[in-house]
Amino acid sequence: MSVCATAEIEDIIDRYPGRPEYLIFLLQDIQSSFGYISQESMRRVCDRTGVPLTRAYSVATFYQSFRLDPKGEHEIKVCLGTACHLKGGQRLVEDLERRLGVAAGETSGDMRFTLDTVNCLGACAISPVVVMDEEYYPNMTARKLEKQLKALNAADAAQAKEAGNA
């Protein structure tokens, strides 16, 4: 972990009194700054709050919103709430797992994609819903998904080419 990241973690920790009841606030702030909670930040939070490491990990794994590993460049979330599930959400997850070579809840080895499942996004009328990089895609199908992934790959390739020419 870089010196800057360590300093940022310490800044976050300094925002709260060093007591166990602030654990969740600290984890939320760390996740919001870094996108995930690293082992190093978890250890520092535990040192400061006095919460045992095993307890802090069980809290972090209980809440689906906390991540313990870094996210990929693109985050794809498939809704598996009841409406989306009934309209093929699980098939979309399996399709994405196959296309991206990654299991739901994981990040691809090249750090390009993180695939997650979520419960109802509050958009059941347009189910099944997939969210790619914070953008909602309604009434998703395997074909639309394929098209969207192609567009994403093309945009990344163009950006890489542009960066190479700069």
Residues that bind ligand FES (CB under 6 A): 79, 81-84, 120-124, 127, 129
**DSSP secondary structure, 88-145, as one string:** THHHHHHHHHHHHT--TTEE-TTSSEEEEEES--S-GGG-S-EEETTEEE-S--HHHH
The DSSP output letter for 78 is E
The CB-of-98 to ligand FES minimum distance in angstroms stands at 21
Round to whole Å and give the CA distance between 58 and 164.
44
Pick between residue 29 and residue 116 the one whose CB is nearest to ligand FES: 116
Pick between residue 26 and residue 145 the one whose CB is nearest to ligand FES: 145
Pick between residue 59 and residue 118 the one whose CB is nearest to ligand FES: 118
By beta carbon distance, the residue nearest ligand FES is: 81
Coil, helix or strand at residue 60 = helix
Pick between residue 124 and residue 152 the one whose CB is nearest to ligand FES: 124
The CB-of-14 to ligand FES minimum distance in angstroms stands at 39
The CB-of-27 to ligand FES minimum distance in angstroms stands at 26
Dig out the tokens for 141 from the structure: 């199908």
